């Protein structure tokens, strides 16, 4: 079971060994990575995740990734960082370059789930995005941190310039679709569902 905050410490496999690659990932991507690993037989990939709540403090992501790389590097033939820029202002990309490790391309997970090229072409400036993880954890990662549970009047301040909520569905799950619709209603936004699957995340992991 993946913890509610998306933090997964290890997959349970013995680390190291010839040809083994460690994925250092955002906890919000744990379920998707494990699903892709199982579906494709990528048994050479091990996984360790940092807490998903780091996205609330993007200034901390670069150092957290650095510490994880340095802690695990000696046990693996390669390390791949499963973060996009994620609000670090290019600092994570530069640090990964300095550390000699690769990372997922793109500004954030909404982009690489859609496909970075397709996302860039849309130029959607009035859309608020949710993924499977964020639909499941909407209260913990959106509603409560923004104080909307205590001060619903803040909705207009935060979301007054948004027009729609876009649910980027990684899986075809009617229960998640219904919950995403409810999230849109709570925010007072129009609703759109896109079955994106895993997008460029699958491509990036397939290359390693």
Count the Cβ atoms, other than its own, within 10 Å of residue 38.
Answer: 10
CATH number at residue 83: 3.40.50
Last residue of a domain, one of 104, 139, 159: 104
Residue 11, pLDDT above cutoff 50: no
Last residue of a domain, one of 48, 80, 104: 104
Q: Do 90 and 144 share a structural domain? A: no
Residue 165 covered by a domain: yes
Q: What is the pLDDT of residues 21-35, one digit of tens each?
A: 999 999 999 999 999
What is the span of the domain harbouring residue 43?
21-104
Residue 200 covered by a domain: no
Counting the structural domains of the chain, the total is 2
CA-wise closest residue to 5 among 29, 36, 23, 22: 29
Residue 10, pLDDT above cutoff 50: no
**Radius of gyration in angstroms for the set of CA atoms belonging to the chain, rounded to a whole number:** 17
Residue 110 covered by a domain: no
Q: Do 120 and 68 share a structural domain? A: no
Number of alpha carbons in the 13 Å side-chain half-sphere of residue 195? 5
Residue 5: the pLDDT is 53
Residue 1 covered by a domain: no
Q: What is the pLDDT of residues 88-146, one digit of tens each?
A: 999 999 999 999 999 999 999 999 999 999 999 998 999 999 999 999 999 999 999 99
Residue 4 covered by a domain: no
Residue 5 covered by a domain: no
Q: What is the pLDDT of residues 69-89, one digit of tens each?
A: 999 999 999 999 999 999 999
Angle between helices 30-40 and 199-206 (to 10 degrees): 50
């Amino acid at each position: 079971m993946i913890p509610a905050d998306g933090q997964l410490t290890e997959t349970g496999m013995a680390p190291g060994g010839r040809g083994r690659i460690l994925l250092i990932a955002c906890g919000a991507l744990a379920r998707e990575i494990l699903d892709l690993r199982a579906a494709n037989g990528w048994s050479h990939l091990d996984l360790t995740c940092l807490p998903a709540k780091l996205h609330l403090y993007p200034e901390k992501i670069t150092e957290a990734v650095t510490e994880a790389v340095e802690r695990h590097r000696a046990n693996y033939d390669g390390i791949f960082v499963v973060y996009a820029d994620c609000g670090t202002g290019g600092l994570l990309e530069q640090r990964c370059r300095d550390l000699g490790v690769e990372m997922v391309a793109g500004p954030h997970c909404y982009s690489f789930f859609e496909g970075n090229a397709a996302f860039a072409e849309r130029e959607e400036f009035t859309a608020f995005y949710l993924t499977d993880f964020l639909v499941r954890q909407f209260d913990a990662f959106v509603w409560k941190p923004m104080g909307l549970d205590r001060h619903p009047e803040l909705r207009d301040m935060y979301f007054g310039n948004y027009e729609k909520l876009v649910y980027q569905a990684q899986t075809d799950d009617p229960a998640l679709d219904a919950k995403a619709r409810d999230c849109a209603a709570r925010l007072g936004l129009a609703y759109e569902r896109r079955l994106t699957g895993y997008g460029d995340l699958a491509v990036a992991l397939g290359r390693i």
